[in-house]
């Protein structure tokens, strides 16, 4: 990455995390979770139920966390000066891993019969649980109802996964792997840079029908747009993702509107735009559509055939011309003259920011980038202020996974959007003074 220095935040850095361990064979994985949280510079305290101490020893966790372990019958709890209320207040997040059916049931019903359940009841921290149990126990209606109750009480549920179980059965109930737990926990600490913002993003290709079975499309996979939608949601935005046909799962907590053609995408965008503060257009929208779509499958009768095409509306230009214009970010997919073409689109389409990507083929280090790849490289241009002589600022993001670029780009957009808003507030105050 060059230009301004934008760090990918380690969201667990300096966070106070209580790990609650209940009785289950998956408790052995929690040793690694503890180690990994320490590596991420989190401050960790361990609370074990009596049942947990049958599976793993407190000494292991004391060594890994560097602090005495809290459990019901140990003196360390009192000598360390951390009673349950202090621990409840100290925690930024409590993660119970593994969470047994018994503890889930107690928590759902507000029981406080051991240190862990008392601590949870007394804490306003982020609370998460990673169920781990036999598949029949997991499927049981009581367990399912108890989990639902916890979700209603704002607990975050991580997993469980499916697979072979310690009891010899195969099914749902395995605790998530440590990597997955860490990612889920990190997502609980959104940066908040876009808190309260409504953000609309388009992604993927559009398909323009020729007849009932054929269409004109393009190679966009939707990956770039979905990655940005995920990052925006993690930064606290309320995200509406308007997506052309692609095979990606909808990011969690994002409103997904599936469309097919450019015309459908335009309708969906214009219906969502009134209440939107940031619009990001990553979709590869078809510039043309077939004028007369055949009602039946076209037969192969002639040696040549001609399709008459009509220009589609430029959706992003309509958004930029809207009376309640949001902060508008366009993408430029270019195979040549990347910078000139991108700057030209920034001006011509009246955008606030444009993200250029070279879709000609490979990056400098020969990684496939752009269309239908896991990777991309971005060159971003934006107006650094709103005065008469508009200065174009720029920043490059070197080749990286689209997921990482999504986070970096959202940081930049949030920074520029929030600066713009502050400038407007100051200007309004001056005007009314
Ligand atoms: O989906 P992936 O496989 O991850 O690939 C990502 C991508 C390469 C598709 C993406 O990063 C990208 O570059 N998207 C924009 C592609 C494009 O159509 O660029 P363009 O230069 O033709 O259009 C410029 C801007 O106008 C874009 O923001 C586009 O969404 C918008 N546009 C274009 C035509 C149209 N009718 N309406 C529009 O809103």
Active-site annotation holds for 188: no
Q: Are 260 and 338 within one domain?
A: yes
Distance of CA 405 to CAs 227, 230, 377, Å? 8, 11, 8
3-class DSSP state of 347 = helix
Query: Which residue among 201, 332, 360 is best mutated to probe the pocket of ligand 1, counting the most ligand atoms within 8 A of its Cβ?
Result: 332
Asked whether residue 193 is domain-assigned, the answer is: no
Number of domains in the chain: 2
Ligand 1 atom closest to the Cα of residue 317 is 39
Q: List pLDDT tens digits, range 157-167.
A: 898 998 887 77
The residue whose CB lies within 8 Å of the most ligand 1 atoms, and thus the one to mutate among 216, 220, 357, is 220
- Residues 172, 147 within the same domain: yes
- pLDDT (tens digit per residue) in 281-321: 999 999 999 999 999 999 999 999 999 999 999 999 999 99
For 410, residues 6+ apart whose C-beta sits below 8 A from its C-beta are 193, 194, 228, 231, 232, 234, 235
Say if 6 falls within a structural domain: no
Kindly state if the Cβ of 283 falls inside 6 Å of ligand 1: yes
Q: Per-residue confidence of the chain (433 residues) as pLDDT tens digits?
A: 333 333 334 778 889 999 999 999 999 999 999 999 999 999 999 999 999 999 999 999 999 999 999 988 665 554 455 567 889 999 999 999 999 999 999 999 999 999 999 999 999 999 999 999 999 999 999 999 999 899 888 888 898 998 887 777 888 899 999 998 998 888 777 678 898 899 999 999 999 999 999 999 999 999 999 999 999 998 999 999 999 999 999 888 899 999 999 999 999 999 999 989 999 999 999 999 999 999 999 999 999 999 999 999 999 999 999 999 999 999 999 888 999 999 999 999 999 999 999 887 665 555 678 788 888 889 999 998 655 567 899 999 888 889 888 988 998 999 999 988 888 888 888 888 7
Helix (H) / strand (E) containing 400: strand 392-401
Is the domain of 287 the same as that of 389? yes
Q: Is 205 in the pocket of ligand 1 (CB under 6 A)?
A: no
CA dihedral 193→369→372→313, nearest 10 degrees, is: 70
Note whether 173 and 221 are same-domain residues. Answer: no
165 with 229, same domain?
no
In a domain, 8, yes or no: no
Does residue 57 lie within any of the structural domains?
yes
Q: Does residue 314's CB lie within 6 angstroms of at least one atom of ligand 1?
A: yes
**What is the model's pTM?**
0.65
Q: Which atom of ligand 1 is nearest to the CA of 246?
A: 1
Ligand 1 center from residue 187 Cα (angstroms) = 28
Domain that holds residue 96: 16-187
Looking at the structure, tell me whether residues 92 and 228 fall in a common domain.
no
Is 105 a domain residue? yes
Which residue among 120, 147, 167, 246 is the active-site one? 167
Per-position b or e across 73-111, b if 16+ CB within 10 A of its CB: ebeebeebebebeebbeebbbbbbbbbbbbbbbbbbeee
Which of 283, 359, 381 most suits a substitution to test ligand 1, by most atoms within 8 Å of the C-beta? 283
């Amino acid at each position: 990455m060059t230009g301004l220095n934008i760090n990918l935040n380690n969201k667990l850095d300096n966070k106070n995390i209580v790990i609650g361990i209940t009785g289950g064979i998956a408790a052995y994985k929690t040793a690694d979770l503890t180690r990994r949280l320490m590596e991420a510079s989190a401050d960790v305290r361990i609370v074990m139920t009596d049942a947990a101490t049958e599976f793993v020893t407190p000494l292991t966790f004391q060594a890994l966390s560097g602090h005495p372990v809290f459990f019901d019958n140990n003196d360390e709890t009192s000598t360390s000066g951390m009673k349950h209320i202090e621990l409840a207040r100290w925690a930024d997040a409590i993660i119970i891993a593994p969470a047994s059916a018994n503890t889930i049931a107690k928590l759902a019903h507000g029981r406080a019969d051991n240190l862990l359940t008392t601590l949870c009841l007394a804490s306003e921290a982020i609370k998460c649980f990673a169920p781990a149990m036999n598949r029949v126990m997991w499927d049981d209606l009581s367990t399912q109802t108890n989990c639902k109750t916890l979700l209603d009480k704002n607990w975050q549920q991580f997993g469980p996964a499916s697979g072979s179980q310690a009891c010899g059965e195969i099914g749902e109930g395995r605790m998530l792997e440590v990597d997955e737990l860490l990612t889920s926990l990190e997502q609980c600490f959104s940066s908040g840079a876009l808190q309260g913002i409504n953000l609309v993003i388009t992604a993927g290709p559009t398909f323009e029908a020729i007849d009932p079975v054929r269409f004109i499309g393009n190679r966009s996979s939707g990956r770039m747009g979905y990655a940005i939608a995920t990052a925006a949601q993690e930064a606290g935005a309320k995200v509406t993702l308007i997506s052309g046909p692609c095979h990606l799962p909808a990011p969690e907590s994002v409103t997904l509107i599936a469309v097919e053609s450019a015309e459908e995408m335009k309708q969906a965008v214009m219906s969502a735009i009134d209440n939107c503060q940031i619009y990001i257009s990553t979709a590869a929208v078809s510039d043309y559509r077939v004028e007369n779509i055949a009602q039946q499958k076209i037969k192969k009768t002639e040696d040549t055939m001609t399709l008459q095409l009509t220009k589609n509306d430029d959706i992003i230009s309509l958004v930029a011309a809207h009376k309640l214009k949001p902060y508008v970010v366009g993408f430029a997919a270019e195979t040549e003259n990347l910078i000139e073409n991108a700057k030209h689109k920034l001006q011509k389409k009246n955008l606030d920011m444009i993200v250029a990507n070279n879709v000609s083929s490979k990056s400098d280090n020969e990684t496939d980038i752009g269309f239908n790849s896991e990777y991309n490289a971005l060159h971003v241009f934006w107006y650094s202020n709103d005065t008469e002589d508009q200065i174009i600022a720029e920043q490059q993001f070197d080749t990286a996974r689209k997921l990482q670029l999504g986070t970096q780009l959202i940081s930049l957009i949030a920074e520029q959007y929030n600066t713009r808003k502050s400038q407007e507030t100051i200007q309004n105050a001056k005007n009314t003074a």
